[in-house]
Amino acid sequence: MTSPSGERSLVLIKPDAVRRGLVGEIIGRFERKGLAVDAMVLRSMDAALADQHYTEHVDKAFYPPLKEFMTSGPLVAMVVSGDQVIEVIRAMIGSTDGRKAAAGTIRGDFSLSNRENLVHASDSPDSAKREIQLWFPELA
Ligand code: CMP
C-alpha cells in the first residue's frame, strides 16, 4: 500500500538514542524536513524479531553484538513517509559508521560508533515493504 504522502520507510530510533534522550532531536529533524510520521511506537525488539529484521546479517561476525545492543532496551519504531523518503532519510542519517558520517547528518553529529549509530532506515522499497510488514502488520 502507498501512503497519501508518497513513499514509506521503516525507521528505528535505536536503544542508544532512547537512552541518550535524542528521540525528539531525531524526530524533529524528520518533521522539519517535511516528512510525515504515519505510525510510531515505543517498544523493545526481542531476539526473534532481531533475527527477522536483520535476516541478511545474521551470519555476519558483527551480528551477535548488534543483536545484544538492539535488544538492550526500548526503541522507537516508526513509519515515515514523503517524496523519495527512503533516499532522503538515508542522506539525513549518514554513513553507517558515525566516525565517518558527514557532519550535519544524524550519525555524523551524534555517533562515534558503527554499531551504536542511533537510527536504522529501510534501504530500498523492497526492504521498506518487508520491514513495515514485520513491525506494523496492520499497515501493510
Ligand atoms: P543498520 O542501518 O541498522 O543496519 C545494520 C546494522 O548493523 C547497522 O545499522 C549497524 O548498527 C550494524 N553494523 C553494520 N556494520 C557493522 C560493523 N562492521 N560492525 C558493527 N556493527 C555494524
CA 4 to ligand 1 center in whole angstroms: 31
pLDDT of residue 1: 47
CA 54 to ligand 1 center in whole angstroms: 10
pLDDT per residue, tens digit, the chain (140 aa), is 455 558 999 999 999 999 999 999 999 999 999 999 999 999 999 999 999 999 999 999 999 999 999 999 999 999 999 999 999 999 999 999 999 999 999 999 999 999 999 999 999 999 999 999 999 999 97
What tens digit of pLDDT does each residue of 2-29 get? 555 589 999 999 999 999 999 999 999 9
Beta carbons of 107 and 20 less than 8 angstroms apart: no
Pick the CATH number of 2-139 from 3.30.70.141, 1.10.357.10, 3.30.420.10, 3.65.10.10: 3.30.70.141
Nearest residue to 16 (alpha-carbon basis) of 92, 107, 94, 105: 107
Beta carbons of 131 and 53 less than 8 angstroms apart: yes
Give catalytic residue positions. 120
Task: Write out residues with Cβ below 6 Å of ligand 1.
Answer: 57, 62, 66, 96, 114-115, 117, 120
- What span, in angstroms and rounded, lies between the C-alpha atoms of 107 and 98? 5
Cell of 7: 513513499
